[in-house]
């Protein structure tokens, strides 16, 4: 089991990818993955309760993560723009460019980054007991 929030975020991202890849009719496998996600959420909650973070630190982290996300999205846009010219092969070229864009996302850790952004935003939400102003 993960011992840090960053590790939990990575594991949650991997589990989300696994869920996306599982067929809809794989109910038993999907249930196991969801149980693992729930366990990780509980562990993350305990870790956050043990180690509260100042709101200012979370806001700084969110700003940094959002700048990083913009760069990742921009890199993906460059790949998409490169394939927008169409030309011979039409649909084949679009499929290739979509695959390339997906690989760019994976290489830059887009899913993990977005999971971390969601986590920080949730922690900044009013009423979250995991954060305390210091």
pLDDT value of residue 134: 36
Task: Count other Cβ atoms within 10 Å, centred on residue 126.
Answer: 4
pLDDT along the chain (134 residues), means of 10: 68 86 89 90 80 76 91 76 57 77 81 90 69 42
CA 40/CA 8 separation, integer angstroms: 6
51's tokens: 């180690």
pLDDT value of residue 35: 92
Q: Do the Cβ atoms of 33 and 18 come closer than 8 Å? A: yes
pLDDT value of residue 1: 35
pTM for the full model? Answer: 0.49
Cα dihedral 95, 101, 107, 110 sign? negative
């Amino acid at each position: 089991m993960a011992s840090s929030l960053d590790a939990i975020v990575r594991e949650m991202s991997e589990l989300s990818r696994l869920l996306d890849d599982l067929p809809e009719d794989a109910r038993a496998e999907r249930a196991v993955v969801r149980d693992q996600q729930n366990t990780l959420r509980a562990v993350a909650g305990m870790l956050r309760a043990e180690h509260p973070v100042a709101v200012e630190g979370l806001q700084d982290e969110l700003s940094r993560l959002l700048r990083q996300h913009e760069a990742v999205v921009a890199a993906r846009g460059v790949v998409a723009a490169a394939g927008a010219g169409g030309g011979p092969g039409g649909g084949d070229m679009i499929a290739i460019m979509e695959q390339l864009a997906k690989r760019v996302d994976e290489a830059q850790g887009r899913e993990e980054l977005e999971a971390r952004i969601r986590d920080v935003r949730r922690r900044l939400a009013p009423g979250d007991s995991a954060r305390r102003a210091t």
